[in-house]
Copies of this chain bind each other. A is one copy, B any other.
Amino acid sequence: MTYFPGISDDQFLRGDIPMTKQEVRVLVLNKAKICPPDIVIDIGAGTGSLSIEAALQAHQGKVYAIERHPEGVELIRRNAIKFGVDNLEVISGIAPAALENIPRADVIFIGGSGGHLQEILAQSNNLLRPNGRLVITAITIETLYEGLHVMQAQPEFTVEAFGMQVTRIKQIKTSNMLQALNPIYIITSTKNN
């Protein structure tokens, strides 16, 4: 079956770990502009939903998923098996330390920073190839502010950002109810050539 970005949330094994929701994942992947041979790093990979889709898009390349929580690491591995993805390496650890032996990348996702956002961004800059894309998803004011300020201060990056708020419509008998997902901000930084 053909792969289209935006695998339905309920297809992923997820436990109690928060997951990037389908509509958000589609836009985050869209901003990353992943090509088949790309090297991708997903920092704070959570359930791995984004890593899995990145791996399906970078099918001639490789995805490194960094996750600090053992349940997350296990979930990513199980999701990789479920979706038949074999170009995904899960690294159990904390960034930036866990970034040590990873090759230079075309795309870096930052979904969680464990309070080390500034160091991670500095290290990401080193790791990112020319024309590479760094996509930060922010669900806190701190990540939004620091992500914007650190990246906008670097002349070698072009930065754009937006927030999105999704309202799911749930049909219950003859009514269609409005149900909010949490808002999220997406900061995309493209490294100049």
Give A118 Cβ to nearest chain B Cβ, in Å.
13
The one of B142, B169, B184 in contact with A185, judged by C-beta atoms closer than 8 angstroms, is B169
Q: Which chain A residues numbered 75 to 94 have a C-beta less than 8 Å away from chain B?
A: none
Interface magnitude class on chain A: 35 or more
> In this assembly, does A103 line the interface, its C-beta being within 8 Å of a C-beta of chain B?
no
Report whether B152 and A180 are in contact in the complex, using a CB–CB cutoff of 8 Å.
Answer: no
The one of B27, B143, B180 in contact with A27, judged by C-beta atoms closer than 8 angstroms, is B27
Known contacts A140-B177, A162-B167, A169-B185: A30-B2 contact under CB 8 Å: no
> In this assembly, does A99 line the interface, its C-beta being within 8 Å of a C-beta of chain B?
no
Known contacts A163-B169, A168-B162, A180-B183: A142-B139 contact under CB 8 Å: no
Report whether B23 and A4 are in contact in the complex, using a CB–CB cutoff of 8 Å.
Answer: no
> In this assembly, does A165 line the interface, its C-beta being within 8 Å of a C-beta of chain B?
yes
Report whether B169 and A166 are in contact in the complex, using a CB–CB cutoff of 8 Å.
Answer: no
Residues of B within 8 A of A126 (CB): none
Mark A residues whose CB is within 8 Å of B.
2, 4-6, 23, 26-27, 30, 33, 35, 115, 139-145, 148, 152, 159-169, 171, 174-185
3 closest pairs, A vs B, by CB? Answer: A180-B180, A163-B167, A145-B145
